[in-house]
Amino acid sequence: MTAPDERPEMQYSAPTDRFRLAYDRSGSGPSVVLLHGWPGDHTDWDQLVPKLTDIADVLAPDLRGFGQSDKYEADPEEIYSAHGQARAVAALMDELGLRDAVVAGYDVGGAVSQTIAAMRPDLVKALVVSPHLPGAGKRVLELGPVREFWYTSFHQLDLARQLIDGNGDAVRAYLRHFWSHWSGPNYILDEKRIDHLVEVYSVPGAFIASINWYRTSSSNPVTAFATESKPSPAQRLATPTTVLWEDQDPIFPFEWSDQLDAFFKDYTLERLSGVGHFTPLEATDRFANAIKQQLRHALGDADRSKSSSTPPAKQRRRSANGRR
C-alpha cells in the first residue's frame, strides 16, 4: 500500500453544481469505478486497485465532501444525497468518456452506485456492491438496529460540529470507534490508515461535510429504510448486480438480504463469512474477484452482441430472480 505522504497528486474534475471531485485513475482496459464509504475516502480501495489495473481502467474518486474533493456548505438534500453524489460521479464519467463500467461500492458508495445505475444505465454495465442496500424496511426501527444507528441522530445536531469538527483528537476517537466496532473479528486496524483519515477529516469543515450524507431523508439509513417502499416488478433495478453481504456487519445484518428479490431483477448474492462492514479491506480478494467476474461477463456480452442478432434482453446471464 502506498504511504499517505508518497501518494501521487490527485486529479480534479470540472465543477458540477460548483463541486469538483478529486480522483485517482490507473490501469487500462474496460472501465471500473470504485466508490468508498463513510468514514473513509478513495484510499479504502488501496489494496484492491493493484489487483485490477492490469486488466481495467480503474477510477477511484473521493465523493463530495470527502477526502480531497470540494467541501462547501450547501443544501444536503441537493448536493450530498445519493442523487447529488450520483450526479457528480456521472458527470465525472461523462467528462472522462467512461461507458459500460463496472461500478463497485460499499456503504455510501454502495448506495451511490445503485443510484447511478438507475439514473444513467448507459454508464453502468454491472454493479458489485456491499451494504448500504435496500430491504431493511421498518426492521430498522427495532431495538437492535436503533442501538447501532445512534450516530445518524447525533449527526443531525450542531453538537457534532461543536464537539468534533476541526478537533483532531476528537476525530481520531470518533473514527476509531467505527473502524473498530464495524469491522469483523479478524480485521486488524492499520494505524497508518487511521492517521491518514484523521488528517483528511480534521480539516475544519471536513467532518461536517462528510456527515451531510446523513442529513438527507433519502440517505440517512433510518429514515430511508423506515419509509422505503418496494417497486413494482417492472421497476426493479435491471443492472446485473453482484451483492457481497457480510455476516459480521453490526449495522447491516445478513438477515436483511432476504428482500433483494423485491429490488433487483438480475443479481447474485454472496455471503461473506466472518467479514465486517469494510469489505474492500476485509475481503479484498473476494471483492476484486467479483469485479473481475463482472468484467468477463461484460466482455462476453459484447462479443455475443457482435455475432448475434438476438435482442440483449434474451441474452440475460441469470434468471430474472437471479438468486444463488
The residues carrying an active-site annotation are 107, 214, 277
98 backbone dihedrals φ, ψ, rounded to 5°: -90, 130
Instruction: Kindly report whether the peptide bond that precedes residue 185 is cis, defined as omega within 30 degrees of 0.
Output: no
Residue 243: helix, strand or coil by DSSP? strand
Number of H helices, E strands in the chain: 12, 8
Q: Which residue has the cell 447529488?
A: 84
Nearest to 100 by CA among 265, 295, 235: 295
Cell numbers describing residue 259: 428482500
Query: In angstroms, how far apart are the furthest CA atoms of the chain?
Result: 62
**How far apart are alpha carbons 323 and 236 in whole angstroms?**
14
**How far apart are alpha carbons 276 and 171 in whole angstroms?**
22
**How far apart are alpha carbons 172 and 197 in whole angstroms?**
8
184 and 275 in contact (C-beta within 8 Å)? Answer: yes
Neighbouring C-alpha atoms within 13 Å toward the C-beta of 195: 6
The contacts of residue 308 (CB under 8 Å, 6+ apart) are 315
**How far apart are alpha carbons 44 and 134 in whole angstroms?**
22
124 and 103 in contact (C-beta within 8 Å)? Answer: yes
> In terms of C-beta density within 10 A (0-12 exposed, 13-18 middle, 19 or more buried), how is residue 291 classed?
buried
